[in-house]
Structure 1
């Protein structure tokens, strides 16, 4: 209990909010996944990125460092994922994305906030920005076999990131009215993300338990391996190090399952990976947080 008790304020809010989504489905209440997805990606997440980064105590140099660390983490994770797929004879186009792209938004951002406060959330948002852009550009290109430019240019998150970067690098402050508006809109994102996570997980079917557990463990090992490699190569320290490791340890994102359905890339196996890695992460992430000194 001495290990778990101090971590309860970090882990329990995530579990309780996700549980709302599970119970929502159990009580057969309507939930429009597409509407929630759009309102988060088009309004909530962009407002959260601009609003948080514009008021966070984060220097231009630190933001550059975070973006570089995010790219490095993804690069190492991708390299480890390719090696794992080749060694285990897994189809690259089926399993590369779910091995690389963790739940940096729905689970990662709340954990960053509850574990490390506003500064941790700001750094986590930098990682979320890079990983989201990569997922919906390079990730979709892997699945479809062709480059996707239109999807990148039409994403509000891209423009929110550019706007936030402009504010940080020029040390500009938003008018209080606009800042408060963005805080209100951005504040809905994290609860909605977690509730949607619960709804999504409750609707996924776990088949082939042995394979699913193996793939789930593989995602967590590959992800955390990429995080540690980035930390070692870039000699990351302090808050950036902790947030990179925490984000790298998140389970496979639910979006991987949705994209696997869309492009017919082993959706059942990917669903098993998403569910199993999420369940395992409820044990592995508290251990990691304890290792990172969160008391």
Structure 2
């Protein structure tokens, strides 16, 4: 009896001690807590990703604006440099043409009766030259350099206005340049581009005048061949085929090695083809031609014989 009682007491003590211990955390509770933590981390990560994406878009927009502004600045600089390159190229070609050997003109004595008549330059009367004030070489160099720079700036500004589509501004700029520097280094190009400006303004008569001035007064200009081509094209537009053919022929004869001469030859061939077709049509419809053809037909028929009664 003593041994079973001892066993029972030991079991009772063990059960009572187990009842006093705290119960442990179950896996279900651990899983729910872990899942909630993971979801919270995902939400936080999504929020961070959204902020990063928004900041990236802002940076992309800022970069795009900066790049666009930079491209516009570079485009403006490129147009300015291109205008200066064209102007300098024209000056170099003009200088090379001037270096050709030109016979020295014979100066004829002016009769006393004509000494008081003012000299003429192109179509504008010019006063007799007056004795200029004595200036040093350094002053002359400074004045010429300043004038050349001012003319180049005026030409460049007008040229850029034309290329940017500001035709009224370009027209005013070229006209002002020609008023201030009528015999400047860029005068021939100013006249040519003034003609192009007038075409853009639909003032074809004024454009014709500008190109004709280049063709008649600047035979050594780099724009001379182009001016003749423009004159031919404008003459065709006004239905002056004869004048157009004359300008094309002049371009072919005076600038045979120019690339524009090929265009002039093609245009001249088209004009001659049209004129030939018109002449042929007129010949066929002329009264003399009709009478000749009707006479030939009558000769082929038998004459009618009157029967005796």
For Structure 1 versus Structure 2, the TM-score category normalised by the shorter chain is: under 0.3
Normalised by the length of structure 2, the TM-score is 0.20
Higher relative contact order (CA 8 A, sep 6+): 1
Q: Which has the larger radius of gyration?
A: 2
Q: TM-score w.r.t. structure 1 length?
A: 0.21
More helix by share: 1
